[in-house]
Amino acid sequence: MTITAIVGGTGLTHLEGLELCAKPIITELGEPSSVPQVGCWHGQSVVFLSRHGQPHAIAPHRINYRANMLALQQLGVTRIVAVNAVGGIHPDMGSGAIVVPHQLVDYTWGRESTFFDGDFRPLQHIDLTHPYDETLRHQLLQAAASAEITVHDGAVYAATQGPRLETIAEIQRLERDGCDVVGMTGMPEAALARELEIPYASVCLVVNPAAGKSNELITMEDIRAVLAEGMQQVIRLIEQLHLNFEGGDY
């Protein structure tokens, strides 16, 4: 049976229409960011988890990513769709663009970023050549095509520490590194999912031009305006992922 986890980020703290059954859960590494909501959504089993807590209050560097991923594993999820609000670096990825990244660069520091640290689990070096699951990425792209939602297939996601946004020079450095979008929560989430061998892919919504990519300063007001509209499209895309599943796409 397929059980999809949706990990909501900024702008997606609950899932409309999910027949709710809250499943309080404590893992060996503590509590997840919020109580996972387990239920049925468009005919499929779904677990929804709000990454920044409910309400949105946990800073990106303070999220217990390990507990979040372990909780999803304990709930039996078989794939994870992460939703991430990001800044756009690539000129084609302006506000409102939806992006399904294929690669990432990790600039975060000081986060608990592995299960295989020699304490919780014996040391292991896992492969992360392709950080996102290609099958799930493909399914998301198919869903976008079916729902006639324009998405960018492939991008390099830069994971920064936050919670502050970047300087112009930092964004220029990320650009030189080949990054297309920038967010604060993509890592260590992707690596931890891989360590647990749960297929993981991300749907990014560009909510602002990254620092220096427009003449304006970045305001929360502008971000909120893009989120309100853009997140509806992201939800529609994930809905379609489920509808395609019913139609036997898998």
Q: Cβ contacts of residue 214 below 8 Å, gap of 6+?
A: none
- Phi and psi based region of residue 186 (left: phi greater than 0; alpha: psi -120 to 50; beta: remaining): alpha
In the complex with ligand HPA, the residue whose CB is nearer, 26 or 168, is: 168
Give me the 187-226 binding string for ligand HPA, x by CB under 6 A, dash otherwise: --------------------xx-x----------------
Interface with ligand HPA includes 8 (CB under 6 A)? Answer: no
d(CA 146, CA 152): 15
DSSP state of 115: S
Contact call for residues 99 and 201 (beta carbons, < 8 A): no
* From candidates 6, 93, 182, 227, binder to ligand HPA by CB under 6 A: 182
The continuous run of DSSP H or E covering 208 comes out as strand 200-209
In the complex with ligand HPA, the residue whose CB is nearer, 8 or 87, is: 87
Residue 162 CB, shortest distance to ligand HPA, in Å, is 6
In the complex with ligand HPA, the residue whose CB is nearer, 213 or 242, is: 213
Residue 23 CB, shortest distance to ligand HPA, in Å, is 28
Give me the 79-118 binding string for ligand HPA, x by CB under 6 A, dash otherwise: ------xxx-------------------------------
The token duo for 105 is 């660069």
- Three-state DSSP state, 199: coil
Interface with ligand HPA includes 165 (CB under 6 A)? Answer: yes
* From candidates 4, 73, 160, 244, binder to ligand HPA by CB under 6 A: 160
The token duo for 28 is 């060996």
d(CA 95, CA 103): 20
Strands 181-183 and 152-153: unpaired
Closest Cα partner for 117 from 178, 192, 64? 192
Interface with ligand HPA includes 7 (CB under 6 A)? Answer: no
d(CA 8, CA 55): 12
In the complex with ligand HPA, the residue whose CB is nearer, 39 or 87, is: 87
Residue 172 CB, shortest distance to ligand HPA, in Å, is 13
Number of residues that bind ligand HPA (CB under 6 A): 12
Interface with ligand HPA includes 184 (CB under 6 A)? Answer: yes
Interface with ligand HPA includes 156 (CB under 6 A)? Answer: no
Strands 79-88 and 200-209: parallel
**Chain residues that interact with ligand HPA, rule: CB under 6 A:** 85-87, 160, 165-166, 182-184, 207-208, 210
